[in-house]
Chain A
Amino acid sequence: MSDLVPISITVNGRRYELEVEPRLLLVHLLREKLLLTGTHVGCDTSQCGACTVLLDGRSAKSCTVFAVQADGSEVVTIEGLERDGQLHPVQEGFWEEHGLQCGYCTPGMIVSVVDLLNENPNPTEAEIRAGISGNFCRCTGYQHIVKAAQYAAARMRGVSS
Chain B
Amino acid sequence: MTTMERPVLPKLIGARVKRREDPRLIRGRATYVDDIKLPGMLHLAFKRSDVAHGRIKRIDTSAAEAMPGVVAVFTGKDLMALPGATRPVGARGTYAAKIGAGLPPMPIGTPFPSPDHYAIAPEVVRYVGEPVAVVAAEDRYVARDAVDAIVVEYEELPAVVDPELAMQGQPTVIHEGFPNNLALPYVPMGTGVDPATGQVDNSAIDRAFAEAEVVISQRMVNHRVAPNAMEPRGVVAHWDAGKEFLTIWSATQNPHILKSMVAAVLGLGEHQVRAIAPEVGGGFGCKINIYGEEYVAAALSRILERPVKWIEDRSEAFMATIHGRDLICYLDIAARRDGRILGVKMKLIADIGAYNMLLTAAIPTLTMLMASGTYDIPAIRCELTEVFTNKTPTDAYRGAGRPEATYFLERGMDMLARELGLDPAEVRRRNFIPKEKFPYTTQTGAVYDSGDYEKALDRVLQLAKWDELIAERDRLRAEGRLVGVGLAFYVEVCGLGPSSSLPTGGWEHASVTVERDGRIRATTGASPHGQGNETTFAQMLADLFGVPIEHITIEHGDTGVVRQGIGTFGSRSQAVGGTALMMAGEKVRKKMAKFAAALMDANEEDLVFENGMIYVKGSPSTGKSFAEVARYAYVPVPLPPGLEPGLSEEAFFEPPNNTYPFGAHICMLEIDRETGEPRLLKFFAVDDCGNVINPLIVEGQVHGGLAQGIGQAMFEEVVYGPDGQLLTGSFMDYALPRATDFPWFELDRTVTPTPVNPLGAKGVGEAGTLGSTPAVVNAAVDALSEFGVKHIDMPLRPEKLWRIIHGRGQA
Contact = CB atoms under 8 A, between A and B. Distances in A.
Say if the two chains contact directly (CB < 8 Å).
yes
Contact of A38 (B27, B68, B282, B708): B27
Contacts of B744: 125, 143
Contacts of A24: 141
Given A102-B230, A103-B25, A129 B740 contact: yes
Given A43-B314, A45-B315, A102 B18 contact: no
B522 interface: no
A106 B25 contact: yes
B606 interface: no
B308 to A, nearest CB: 16
A152 B736 CA distance: 26
A141 B736 contact: no
A90 B742 CA distance: 22
Contact of A87 (B26, B230, B281, B699): B26
Which of B22, B35, B739: most chain A Cβ within 10 A? Answer: B739
A138 B282 contact: yes
Contact of B231 (A42, A94, A110, A146): A42
Interface in B3-34: 18-19, 21-32, 34
A101 B530 contact: yes
B68 A141 contact: no
Interface in A21-55: 21, 23-24, 31, 36-45, 47-48, 50
Given A44-B314, A44-B730, A139 B704 contact: yes
B461 interface: no
B328 interface: no
Contacts of B739: 128-130, 132-133, 135, 137, 142, 145-146
Nearest to B35: A37
A141 B703 contact: yes
Contact of B281 (A40, A44, A45, A132): A40
Interface in B695-719: 696-697, 699-700, 703-708
B313 interface: yes
B129 to A, nearest CB: 15
Interface in B650-707: 696-697, 699-700, 703-707
B33 to A, nearest CB: 11
A156 to B, nearest CB: 16
B731 A136 contact: yes
Given A23-B141, A129-B739, A102 B314 contact: no
B26 A94 contact: yes
Which of A94, A137, A145: most chain B Cβ within 10 A? Answer: A137
B342 to A, nearest CB: 38
B280 interface: yes
B731 A140 contact: no
A86 to B, nearest CB: 11
A138 B28 contact: no
A144 B695 CA distance: 13
A125 B732 CA distance: 26
A144 B700 contact: yes
Contacts of A129: 738-740, 742
Contacts of B730: 43-45, 47
B279 interface: yes
A11 interface: no
Given A36-B28, A91-B27, A104-B230, A48 B314 contact: yes
A77 B28 CA distance: 9
A21 B731 contact: no
A154 B703 CA distance: 23
A68 interface: no
A98 B704 CA distance: 12
Given A98-B700, A101-B532, A47 B731 contact: yes
B309 to A, nearest CB: 11
A11 to B, nearest CB: 12
Given A104-B230, A125-B744, A98 B34 contact: no
B230 A48 contact: yes
Which of A98, A129, A137, A146: most chain B Cβ within 10 A? Answer: A98
A19 interface: no
Nearest to A94: B26
Interface residues of A, number: 56
B745 A143 contact: yes
A159 interface: no
A78 B27 contact: yes
Interface string A85-125: 00100010011101011111111001000000000000001
A82 interface: yes
B549 to A, nearest CB: 15
Contacts of B696: 98
A53 to B, nearest CB: 10
Nearest to B145: A1
B284 A45 contact: no
B282 A139 contact: yes
Nearest to A48: B731
Nearest to A102: B530
B265 interface: no
A50 to B, nearest CB: 6
Contacts of B567: none
Interface string B507-545: 000000000000000000000011110000000000000
Contacts of B531: 101
B188 interface: no
Interface in B72-87: none
A17 interface: no
Contact of A102 (B29, B68, B280, B706): B280
Contacts of B470: none
B228 interface: yes
B759 interface: no
A44 B313 contact: yes
The 4 closest A-B pairs by CB, nearest first: A38-B28, A104-B281, A103-B25, A102-B530
Interface of A: 1, 21, 23-24, 31, 36-45, 47-48, 50, 77-79, 82, 87, 91, 94-96, 98, 100-107, 110, 125-126, 128-130, 132-133, 135-146
22 contacts: A36-B28, A37-B34, A40-B231, A44-B315, A44-B730, A47-B731, A91-B27, A95-B19, A102-B282, A104-B229, A107-B26, A126-B740, A128-B739, A129-B739, A137-B739, A138-B229, A138-B707, A140-B707, A141-B704, A141-B705, A143-B742, A143-B744
Interface of B: 18-19, 21-32, 34-35, 68, 141, 228-232, 279-282, 284, 313-315, 529-532, 696-697, 699-700, 703-708, 730-732, 736, 738-740, 742, 744-745, 768
Given A98-B18, A142-B742, 13 more contacts: A40-B230, A42-B232, A43-B731, A44-B314, A77-B28, A79-B28, A103-B530, A104-B32, A105-B281, A107-B28, A126-B740, A133-B739, A141-B707
